[in-house]
Amino acid sequence: ETGVTQTPRHLVMGMTNKKSLKCEQHLGHNAMYWYKQSAKKPLELMFVYNFKEQTENNSVPSRFSPECPNSSHLFLHLHTLQPEDSALYLCASSQDWGGSVYNEQFFGPGTRLTVL
Amino acid sequence: GQNIDQPTEMTATEGAIVQINCTYQTSGFNGLFWYQQHAGEAPTFLSYNVLDGLEEKGRFSSFLSRSKGYSYLLLKELQMKDSASYLCAVIKAAGNKLTFGGGTRVLVKP
């Protein structure tokens, strides 16, 4: 257990559905991240939130919409997805973002998403 | 941009040693990380190298050469539970943005 939980663990959705992924961290961290892990591709950063403010958007299509209501919770709202969006979506958190000292990122177990 | 290369897969025998290499090309380098990820689970932090040299933590060691853009993760006295993917990741000077390699899947056989 890393202190970062994600729900659901598995999700199957059609291209016209709207669904949301949820992440919660119990570590008292201020920065939260969404990553995408596709088969045979490197883990890639999607979004970063620091103190509830979005600080990074790694050119992610608008069909992925993040929301960070507080420092402990992070959502990824999904709509009109494509089959190529099928992947493992990982959430992570760290003490904060930026500065000269690296803060270790703690990952959740991920949500395995399949888009039909 | 950043290029991070590591082998796709390695196989080793229980009790043996395996060395996973990682080469990178990046600007503004500020450290290199190794994570372990078992199938269906979260990546977990193994090591962080920012200066040249060898960092040892029990059965796992990580080495960095900044001038060569090279790192390796050394796994000693392999156990079956070490079968997992090992992810090499580089961080730039600003922020906490990690860029990952494709991962090396290690299979430990009896």
Q: Which one-letter amino acid corresponds to residue A97?
A: W
Give the tens place of pLDDT for each residue, A93-104: 998 876 556 678
For residue B30, the model assigns a pLDDT of: 80
Mean pLDDT in residue range B60-64: 97
Query: What does the alpha-carbon distance between residue A72 and residue A55 come to, in Å, rounded to a whole number?
Result: 16
Tokens of A52: 């509830």
Q: CA A90, CA A106: separation in Å to the nearest integer? A: 10
Task: Give chain B's length.
Answer: 110
**Do the Cβ atoms of B102 and B7 come closer than 8 Å?**
no
User: Which residues of chain B are at the A interface, by a Cβ-Cβ cutoff of 8 Å?
Assistant: 4, 30-31, 35, 40-45, 48, 50, 87, 89, 91, 93-103
Question: Which of the four pLDDT bands, split at 50, 70 and 90, describes residue B62?
Answer: very high
C-alpha torsion B36→B37→B43→B44, nearest 10 = -40
Say yes or no to pLDDT of A81 above 70. Answer: yes
- Tell me how crowded residue A26 is: count the other CB atoms within 10 A of its CB: 12
Handedness of CA A61, A51, B35, A113 (dihedral sign): negative
Task: Return the SS3 of B45.
Answer: strand
With CB atoms and an 8 Å threshold, state whether A97 touches B103: no
* Predicted pLDDT of residue B1: 56
Which of A98, A110, A112 is facing B94, going by the closest CB pair? Answer: A98
User: Closest Cα of chain B to A110: distance in Å?
Assistant: 7
Instruction: Select the more confidently predicted residue: A88 or B98.
Output: A88
pLDDT at B16: 97
Instruction: Please provide the average confidence, as pLDDT, over all residues in chain B.
Output: 92
- Residue contacts between A and B (CB atoms, under 8 Å): 61
| pLDDT for the residue numbered A99 | 59
Closest CA–CA distance from residue B18 to any residue of chain A (Å): 22
Segment B7-34 mean pLDDT = 93
Residue B92 scores a pLDDT above 80: no
Chain centroid to Cα A32, Å, comes to 8
Kindly state the tokens that stand for B108: 């430990």
* pLDDT for the residue A76: 98
Averaged pLDDT, B13-28: 93
pLDDT at A100: 54
Three-state helix/strand/coil letters over A9-47: CEEEECCCCEEEEEEEECCCCCEEEEEEECCCCCCEEEE
Give the per-residue pLDDT at A103.
Answer: 75
Please write the tens of the pLDDT for every residue from A27-44. Answer: 999 999 999 999 878 999
**Cβ contact B101–A42 (<8 Å):** yes
Percent of chain A at pLDDT > 90 equals 76
Q: Which residues make beta-bridge pairs with B71?
A: B22, B64
Strand partners, B62: B55, B73
Nearest by CB: B45 against A45, A104, A109: A104
- Shortest alpha-carbon distance between residue A36 and chain B (Å): 11
State the best of A105, A111, A112 to mutate against chain B, taking most chain B CBs within 10 Å.
A105
